[in-house]
Structure 1
């Protein structure tokens, strides 16, 4: 049997025969137009924006509460609470601060002795170093000593324990040695700035706190007459019973204090006052 070598075209279903001319035409047109088109760049391709998921940051953990230890300041002792008493209401106590001074202390001492008066000298111990003969002279004249700290630190209540101990106890030892072993019976806080610790420390070492109720502010040097007038007015109006007068024999020029003292002592005597010491 002879093999049939005729080329047979594939049988196209009747429903597609009508579509072939249109398809051929489209392919022909694309083949002619495509070479004329510019090449597509990657950037010309349509893109779908990619949105990263939004991650809400975690709130930071709250820090642990800080433990604050509140330290109460040292209670300040009111000066009125430690005002000293005198033996009776007809006694006046003269006190002199910030010495000894080689110029002013001897002049004040001479006035007191001439009028038969006594006084308490509140000495800064650093001033007593090198003036031991003068300290002994004060004691030999019948006067008494008061510790007024080592350096006159008016912020003494704010210092640490060692500093306070040196300013109070160390100063007392220096003064007693300078005086040949004479007792130091009082402590007066610089500036009148007291604390419970300062008052108790001085008492533990045999010194009673010493304050005042008459203050003419002679250290401002307002003039001798102004000093006299201030003392007279304060004694008559504020503290007629047992006045403790604050004056100065050191810390600067005390010429006005010396001049005022010459008038004050006779006036106090005329008012019926005797001169004495605060009760230790």
Structure 2
């Protein structure tokens, strides 16, 4: 089983890569949703970036395989980067094209070079990050289109601070709905019936319901490229896991070298009262 903790490199990490603007943007955007440190693991065949917040509520891991790069040369290792600053410069760049990333081990700096901007930041080397532990398999796995979830969550951000995401076995449907925070029952409730894709990897075998911060869940879904298939693994005992292909489309169902996965810890909410 792969460890999320990088090991010290016998030689300093090195990186020389030419990455399409769009793919670098797709790598960075979900990482900045997390209010925490970002660790960039430089591998022989891929960049794997991981962000975890201090409360271990939200975590994202994104993989950019060298097959997406125009050129890629690397010596394995890990560095701590400011993903937000990189994304800001990338967004400010009006010309799309190829971005050059260069890590200089002598002065521990990562340099970003585009057609208009050159950005340099000092980084720490051989740092570690721990993701939330997940025990066992998910109770339920479903597939959804990003645009459907984003549309519903945009509504709920204006009406509920906590939203429940679940699967109702009795009705064979997935849903998003307002969730209570305290012991007081809601006077009104709104449920969104989530369309889902009928795919071989789907596993909606039992009812499950967990509640999450509406703004955090919406931010994660918003960071997914439009028209992208999202796999949702959710139970009541571990964080919701959303996974998709970094490049968009339906690659998450077909197997991909560029998976992005996001974990979001559930809110503790009271059980839904049952009618007698």
TM-score band by shorter chain is under 0.3
Q: Give the structure with higher Rg (CA).
A: 1
TM-score (normalised: structure 1) = 0.23
Larger relative strand fraction: 2
